[in-house]
Amino acid sequence: MTIKQQIQRATLRTAAALTLLEVTTHLPSEGRSSQTYHHLFDTIITPLGRRLFNPEDAHHLALEVVRRGLAPRVSREAESFGARINMTTTLQRTDNKGLPLKVPGPIGLAAGFDKNGSAIPGLFQLGFSFVEIGSVTPEPQEGNAKPRSFRLVEDRGVINRFGFNSWGADVVRGLLGDYRGEFGGRGAALVVRQQRGGRDGQEDDRNGERSSAIINKLSWALGWAWHRLMVAPPNQGILGVNLGKNKTSDDEIGDYTTGIRKLGPYADYLVINVSSPNTPGLRSLQQREPLHNLLTSTTKARDEYAPHAPLYVKIAPDLSPSEMEDVASVVMETSIDGMIVSNTTNARPESLVSPNKREVGGLSGAPIKNRSTECIRTMYKLTNGTIPIIGVGGVGSGRDAYDKLKAGASLIQVYSMMVYEGPGVVSRIRKELADLLAENGYKNVEDVVGADCEDIYWRKAEERVKKRMEAEKSATI
pLDDT tens digit string along 110-143? 999 999 999 999 999 999 999 999 999 999 999 9
> Which of 419, 425, 429, 410 is CA-nearest to residue 112?
419
Is it the case that residue 83 has pLDDT exceeding 90? no
Residue 407 vs residues 330, 370, 450, 454: alpha-carbon distances, Å: 21, 11, 5, 10
Asked whether the bond before 147 is cis by omega within 30 degrees of 0, the reply is: yes
Q: Is 392 helix (H, G, I), strand (E, B) or coil?
A: strand
Q: How far apart are CA 108 and CA 409, in angstroms?
A: 12
Contact yes or no for 309/93 (Cβ under 8 A): no
Is the full-model pTM beyond 0.85?
Answer: yes
Q: What does the pLDDT read at residue 25?
A: 56
Mean pLDDT of 94-101: 84
Bridge partners of residue 238, in order along the sequence = 130
CA torsion sign, 224 to 227 to 232 to 233? positive
Distances (CA, A) of 211 to 203, 205, 313: 15, 11, 48
Amino acid at 377: R
For 53-157, where are the alpha helices, taking DSSP H only?
55-67, 76-79, 120-126
pLDDT at residue number 402: 98
Tens digit of each residue's pLDDT (9 = 90 or more) over 284-317: 999 999 999 999 999 999 999 999 999 999 999 9
Of the pLDDT bands very low, low, confident and very high (cuts 50, 70, 90), residue 231 is: very low
Residue 468 has a pLDDT of: 76
- Report, as residue numbers or ranges, the catalytic residues: 276
Asked whether residue 404 carries a pLDDT value surpassing 50, the answer given is: yes
- pLDDT attached to residue 388: 97
Stated as kind and residue range, the H or E segment containing 240 is strand 238-243
Q: Give the mean model confidence (pLDDT) for residues 277-288.
A: 95
474 pLDDT more than 90: no
User: Residue 70: pLDDT above 80?
Assistant: yes
Q: Alpha-carbon distance 130 to 106, whole Å? A: 8
* Residue 354 pLDDT class (50, 70, 90 cuts): very high
pLDDT grade for 191, boundaries at 50, 70 and 90: low
Query: Which phi and psi (to 5°) does residue 425 adopt?
Result: -65, -25
User: In the predicted model, what is the mean pLDDT of residues 166-172?
Assistant: 98
The conformation of residue 68, written as its DSSP 8-state character, comes to: T
Query: Looking at the predicted structure, is the pLDDT value of residue 196 above 90?
Result: no
How many residues are recorded in the chain? Answer: 477
Which of the pair, 227 or 13, is modelled with greater confidence?
A: 13
Q: What is the pLDDT of residue 9?
A: 72
- Band of residue 76 on the pLDDT scale cut at 50, 70, 90: confident
Q: Which one is predicted more confidently, 402 or 476?
A: 402
Q: Which helix (H) or strand (E) holds 460?
A: helix 454-476
Predicted local distance difference test score (pLDDT) of residue 452: 97
Secondary structure of residue 278 in the 3-state scheme:
coil
Predicted local confidence at residue 78, as pLDDT: 84
Confidence at residue 222, expressed as pLDDT on a 0 to 100 scale: 56
Mean pLDDT of the chain: 88
Burial 391-427 (b: 16+ CB within 10 A, else e): bbbbbbbbebbbbbbbbbbbbbbbbbbbbbbbbbbbb
- pLDDT (0 to 100) of residue 374: 98
Q: What is the pLDDT of residues 324-352, one digit of tens each?
A: 999 999 999 999 999 999 999 999 999 99
When pLDDT is cut at 50, 70 and 90, the band that residue 245 belongs to is very high
170-179, 219-228, 252-261, 311-320: least confident range: 219-228
Confidence of residue 106 (pLDDT cuts 50, 70, 90): very high
Listing DSSP states for 313-376 in one string gives EEE-TT--HHHHHHHHHHHHHTT--EEEE---BS---TT---GGGGSSSEEEEGGGHHHHHHHH
Contacts with 402 (C-beta within 8 Å, 6 or more apart), sequence order: 433, 436, 437, 448
| Mean local confidence (pLDDT), 438-462 | 93
